[in-house]
A = this chain, B = another copy of it.
Amino acid sequence: MRCLAEFAGSALAIFPLLIVYTLSQLIYQYAGVTPIILVTVLSYGAVAALFGKVSGAQLNPAVTVAAMLTSKTGWIDGIAYIVAQVLGGIAAAALYTIVLPTSENVTGQMWFTVVVNGFDDASRSSSALSGAGISFGVMLAVAVELIAGLIVVGAAVSTLREDGTADSSHAWATAVAYGLGAALTYPVTGAALNPARATGVAIMAHGKGLTVEPLSQLWVFWIAPVFAAALVAVAMIANQMVAAAAAKTSA
């Protein structure tokens, strides 16, 4: 039941992101990054509230890695969660592919261009920057996804109980953290934030003729958040050890 919740939750959180990122970019271009921030806050917030009591609404392999490292989620459960999350991401991207209409002028390639995660020529700002002689490359992409990952994973894991389910502030903290992450990363990478989201889109966009094949850049969107998860886990464990030592000293 908890794996089903992670699958359904990931799909339900990611599908609206893909649709809204696409349409706000193509139809309401003047509004800029604002609808991107808002829908990310609302999507992860709503889904974390819905599934928090069932599975902890981890929704993100990086969050689950940190939950495993801090012993809030067991290793077998954690691996099953990650599989469920990635399948949820693929399901969301597949549904996105099915429901958006195409024509001679509007191809699947066009829809995917605005939702794949990437850098350099695949950065969301690449056309805006093309005349300026610069590009948003792998270093900036890693920097923003790593810092966003620290905030997202930190917020999500620090609001899980010892048994891996959500405490009462989990939905709120998750929503705020993903919204901040989207603001920080969207102009650079298109806001991956979640390896399950990046993977689902990269798989469905494979072979659609995008300028940059998204699977070739996917590694960044796994390495950066998982490394962030490791840093968060180390910080949480160190903080607990210091607190325990302080308690022992004062006792």
Residues of A within 8 A of B (CB): 1, 12, 15-16, 19-20, 23-24, 27-35, 37-39, 41-43, 45-47, 49-50, 54, 95, 99-106, 125, 128, 132-137, 139-140, 143-144, 147-148, 150-151, 154-155, 158, 169, 172-173, 175-177, 179-180, 183-184, 187-188, 239, 242
Is A32 in contact with B30, judged by CB distance below 8 angstroms?
yes
Is A143 in contact with B99, judged by CB distance below 8 angstroms?
yes
Q: Chain A contact residues: over half helix, strand or loop, or mixed? A: helix
Is B151 in contact with A183, judged by CB distance below 8 angstroms?
no
Sample of 27 A–B contacts (CB below 8 Å): A12-B150, A16-B147, A19-B144, A20-B183, A23-B33, A23-B125, A27-B32, A27-B125, A27-B128, A28-B34, A31-B31, A34-B34, A35-B37, A41-B42, A42-B180, A46-B180, A47-B151, A49-B172, A49-B173, A49-B176, A50-B155, A99-B144, A100-B140, A101-B137, A104-B133, A105-B132, A105-B133
A135 contacts across to B, CB distance below 8 A: 101
Is B24 in contact with A33, judged by CB distance below 8 angstroms?
yes
Q: How far is the CA of A143 from the CA of B29 in the complex (A)?
A: 24
Is A179 in contact with B38, judged by CB distance below 8 angstroms?
yes
Q: How far is the CA of A16 from the CA of B119 in the complex (A)?
A: 18
Tell me how many chains of this kind the complex includes.
4
A20 contacts across to B, CB distance below 8 A: 33, 183-184
A91 to chain B, nearest CB (A): 12
Q: How far is the CA of A97 from the CA of B173 in the complex (A)?
A: 29
Is B183 in contact with A39, judged by CB distance below 8 angstroms?
yes
A19-B184, A27-B187, A42-B179 given; name 5 further pairs at CB < 8 Å: A19-B144, A20-B33, A23-B125, A37-B39, A54-B239
